[in-house]
Structure formats: structure tokens, C-alpha cells
Amino acid sequence: RMEGFGCYALPTGTEYRGSLWDGMFHGPGELLLPGGGGYRALWVRGVPTQGKFTFADGLEYDEEKWHYCDGYDRRFYTEICSGFKPPAIPQLKNLDPPKIIPEGCYDCGDGFYNPKTRVVVDYKHKFLRNADNDEHEWILRTCRKAWDITTEHKPKP
């Protein structure tokens, strides 16, 4: 079985780098996510005992002192770090400029969602997962969508 320091690639694209013992994550190690970010933890026989999640943009999750998008402060992390844009220039998501959403699809945070096929693909259009009914409803209710109808500027007569 695997022991010592090593790297282990999971089929999902997630990679573990750290200590292994008897084929399990054991000791300090980090899960690196394919879209960026990761989870650094102290592992005991495959179970994390203490750890910290860091998003792709560098924002660290802190369960006790979490004030990001909590209902009182709705700024994106990039706005907290860099400030607001000038008036009349909206920032619709943390990534600026945002990805262009394919027609008829939604941006669900980790990729694009096609409600007709119920498939989520990453931003490079590689398959991530099939959405269940709960995720489907949540995406339709809350996520940014590509425009269905284009609007044209019509000058006043």
C-alpha cells in the first residue's frame, strides 16, 4: 500500500498531495481541486481532523468568522480586495469579466448548465455531472442565464 509523501490523482480531476499511510491520507496533506482552490488538512486514517478550505480566488473559509455574502455584506471577494467599479459598470459575479454563457445555458458557479440535457460542464466544456431535480431547480431560480431574446437599440422617431 502507499506510504510516505505522495500525489494521488482522483478520477474527478482532484489531486491529493501529502502524507499517506497504509493506503490512506494520513498526516498533513491537501486536496487540490481542478477549478482551483483546495482543502488543506491534517488527516487521520483518511478522515480530516482539522482543515481549511481556500477558494480559487484566495478567499479562505472560516466557519466562525465567515462574513462573506452573509446577507449584510453582498460584495464579491474581488470587490472586497480591490474596491467597487465606477457607477453604471456592474459586476455580476466574482470573476471579472464573467465568462460568456452559451445560448440557453446558465452559469452555475463551477461551469455551465444546460437545462434541456441537465448536464453541467466546466468552463472548458468538459463534463462535470448530471444535475438532480434539486440542483436543476436551484440553478433555474438563482443563476445567471444567457439571454433568450436579443434586444436592439431602436432610435426614437
Rounded to two decimals, what is the model's pTM?
0.51
Is 130 part of a structural domain of the chain?
yes
Q: How many domains does the chain have?
A: 2
Q: Under a CB-based contact definition with an 8 Å cutoff, are residues 79 and 91 in contact? A: yes
Is 33 part of a structural domain of the chain?
yes
pLDDT reading at 153 higher than 60: no
Is 93 part of a structural domain of the chain?
no
What is the span of the domain harbouring residue 116?
Answer: 99-145
Render the burial of 67-97: b for 16+ CB within 10 Å, e for the rest: ebeeeeeeebebeeeeeeeeeeeeeeebeee
Is 50 part of a structural domain of the chain?
yes
Encode pLDDT of 51-93 as tens digits. Answer: 888 887 777 777 777 666 666 666 666 777 777 777 766 666 6
Banded pLDDT at 117 (limits 50, 70, 90): very high
Is 118 part of a structural domain of the chain?
yes
Is 81 part of a structural domain of the chain?
no
Q: Which among 25, 22, 54, 53 has a CA at the least distance from the CA of 7? A: 25
